[in-house]
Amino acid sequence: MENRLYVIPELCTGCNRCAYVCSAVKEGEFRPSKSRIHISNFSFRGYSVPSICFQCSKPDCLEACPEEAIYKDENGAVLVDRKKCNGCGECVTACPYGMIEQDDEKLAFKCDYCGGDPACVKECEPGALVYPKAEKKVLKLRGVQMKQRIESGSPEEKRHQLGLNLLAKAREDDIR
Partner 1 sequence: MNLYAGKILIVNLTDKSISTEPLRKEWLKEYWGCWGLALRYYWDLVSPEVDPLLPENAIVIMTGPFCGTLVPLTSRFCLVSKSPQTGTVFETNTGGAFGPELKFAGYDGIIIKGRADSPTYLKIEDDQVSLENGEALSGKGIFETENYLKEAIGSSEAKTLAIGPAGENLIVYACVGTETYRQMGRGGAGALFGSKKLKGIVCRGTRGVRVADMPAFIERINHYKETNLLTEDNLWAKTDGTSFLMDDISNMGSHPTRNFTYGVNENIQAINLDAIKAAKLADRACVSCPMACGKFTSINGAEMEGPEYETLCLAGSNCEINDLEQVSRFNRLCDDLGLDTISCGNVVGLAMDLTEKGRRVFGLRFGEPKDYLKIVSEIATLSTQRGKDLAMGSKKLAEKYEAQDLTTEIKGLEFPAYEPRGNYGMGLSYATSERGACHMRAFTMYAEDPFDIEALAHLVVNGQNFSTIKWSMCFCDFWGTMKPEIMADLLTAGLGEEVKPEQLEDAGERIWNLTRLFNLKAGFGADDDNLPQKIMNQPLKKGPNAGKVFKKEDFEHAKAIYYKLRDWDERGVPSQKKLAELGLDSL
Q: Catalog residues that contact partner 1 under the rule CB under 8 A.
A: 10, 13-17, 20-21, 23-24, 27-34, 38, 40-41, 43-47, 123, 125-126, 156-157, 160, 171, 173-176
- Name the residue nearer to partner 1 (CB basis): 28 or 143: 28
43 vs 136 by CB, closer to partner 1: 43
Crossing angle of the two packed helices 136-147 and 155-170, in degrees rounded to 10: 130
Query: What is the β-pairing status of strands 6-7 and 38-42?
Result: unpaired
Say how far apart CA 1 and CA 142 lie, in whole Å.
15
Shortest distance, position 165 Cβ to partner 1, whole Å: 13
CB of 125 to partner 1, least distance (A): 4
- 136 CB contacts (<8 Å, ≥6 apart)? none
Closest approach, Cβ 67 to partner 1, in A, equals 27
Nearer to partner 1, 74 or 174 (CB): 174
- Which one, 21 or 56, has the nearer CB to partner 1? 21
| Closest of 110, 37, 122 to residue 77, by C-alpha | 110
Q: What gap in Å lies between CA 133 and CA 95, rounded to an integer?
A: 24
Rounded CA separation 127/146 (Å)? 20
Kindly state the smallest distance separating residue 47's Cβ from partner 1, in Å. 7
